[in-house]
Amino acid sequence: MMSSSATSSSSPFPSSSTFSSTKFKFKFPSLSQRSSLLTVESRAKPSTACYSTIHDTSGQNRHCSLSRRRGLAFTATLPFLFPLHEFVGNGGAKAIESGQSEYLRIKEEISKVVTKGKAAGVLRLVFHDAGTFEMAENSGGMNGSIVYELERPENAGLKKSLKVLEKAKKEVDAIQLVSWADMIAVGGAEAVSVCGGPKIPVALGRLDSAEPDREGKLPQESLDASGLKQSFQRKGFSAQELVALSGAHTLGGKGFGSPVAFDNSYFKILLEKPWKSSAGMSSMIGLPSDHAIVEDDECLRWITKYADNQNIFFEDFKNAYIKLVNSGARWKSM
C-alpha cells in the first residue's frame, strides 16, 4: 500500500523528476511477461551433454553419463536462467558465467551502499515502481519509470533512496550498463536480506521506460480491504500475496517491531490491533490499509498463519516479490 509521508517506511504499492538521471530510449521487443525467470545465488557449474562416443588417448571408448534427453532439457532451460545472453553451440557455459558475474557484481555494489537504516526506503522504491502495473492495459510495472516520478506526492522521500542506488549503479555502469529496473529489483532484494529476511534471487534483463507511468495507479492507503483486494487483483495478485507483500511494512517507522529487522513482527502486532488502544502513540502504528486487512476474514487467515510461522512468511514473501519485480517488465531480447 502507498504511504504519502516522507518517512522511510517500506510500502507494498502503498511530471518529470528533477533527479539527475539519464533518460533511457529503448525499443520494447515484446509486451509479454517472463514471470518465472530466476537467477541462482551461487556460481553455476553446468554439466556438458554428449551426443556421441568419445575416444580417449588410450584408445578406449568412453561415454558421457548424461543422456541426450537430459542434455537437451538442460540446454532448453538455459535462456530462462539468464535471459540476457544467447546460447549458441558451446557458448552456453560462457554466457552463464558472464550473466552470473554481472548479477554478483550488482549485488556486491549494492551491498556497499544499502545499510539497515536505508533498507526500508530502497525496498519502498520497488513497490512504487512496480505497483503501477495493470494487467488489463498491460501498462506500468517494473520498468524504472520511478526516476521520472519522484516529484509525485506518493513518492515523497524516495529521491534519497534512488540516490543511494545511484552510487552503486555508477560503479556497475563503468563495467557494463545496467537498467534502473534491474538495479531497483536487486536493490530491494538486498534490502530484505541485509535486515535478516529471505535471500531472493532476481532475474536480470529488464528494459527501462523512457517516460513516467500514468498517475493514480498505485493502490491508495485509504482503501478498505475489499478495495485493496480488487486493486491487487487488477495487478495479478491474490489476497494471500497482498498480505505477504504487506509484510514489508515490518521495515521502517510504522511501529511494527524493530524498524531495521525483517521478520514476522508485522503480523503479530496486526493481531493485537494497538491502534484501537487509547494509549499514546499506539494509535499511530500502521497505515489505514494495515488496519483494514486485519478486519477481513480472508486476509486474517494469512495474517494469523504468518504470525505463527515466520518461515512460511519468508517463503511466500520471496515468491510474491519475484512475481512483483517481473510484473510488467519488458525484457532484452536474447
- Please determine, for residue 142, whether its predicted confidence score (pLDDT) is greater than 50: yes
**What pLDDT score was predicted for residue 99?**
78
- Please determine, for residue 107, whether its predicted confidence score (pLDDT) is greater than 80: yes
**What pLDDT score was predicted for residue 277?**
81
For residue 55, the cross-strand partners are 61
128 catalytic? Reply is yes
Q: Report helix, strand or coil for 135.
A: coil
- Please determine, for residue 165, whether its predicted confidence score (pLDDT) is greater than 50: yes
pTM more than 0.85:
no
Percentage of the chain exceeding pLDDT 70: 69
Q: Within 10 Å of residue 268's Cβ, how many Cβ atoms?
A: 18
Helix (H) or strand (E) holding 241: helix 239-246
- Confidence bin at 2 (pLDDT 50/70/90): very low
Residue from 63, 85, 128, 291 carrying the catalytic annotation: 128
**What pLDDT score was predicted for residue 177?**
96
Q: What is the CATH number of domain 93-326?
A: 1.10.520.10
Higher pLDDT, 283 or 260: 260
What is the per-residue pLDDT across 23-73, written as a single tens digit (0 to 9) for each?
A: 333 333 333 333 334 343 333 333 333 333 333 434 444 433 333 333 333
Q: Within 10 Å of residue 30's Cβ, how many Cβ atoms?
A: 9
**At residue 250, what is the residue type?**
T
CA–CA gap between residue 265 and residue 310 (Å, rounded): 9
Tell me the residue ranges of DSSP E strands in the chain: 54-55, 61-62
Q: What average pLDDT does the segment 97-124 reach?
A: 94
What is the per-residue pLDDT across 238-281, written as a single tens digit (0 to 9) for each?
A: 999 999 999 999 999 888 989 999 999 999 999 999 988 876 66
**What pLDDT score was predicted for residue 16?**
33
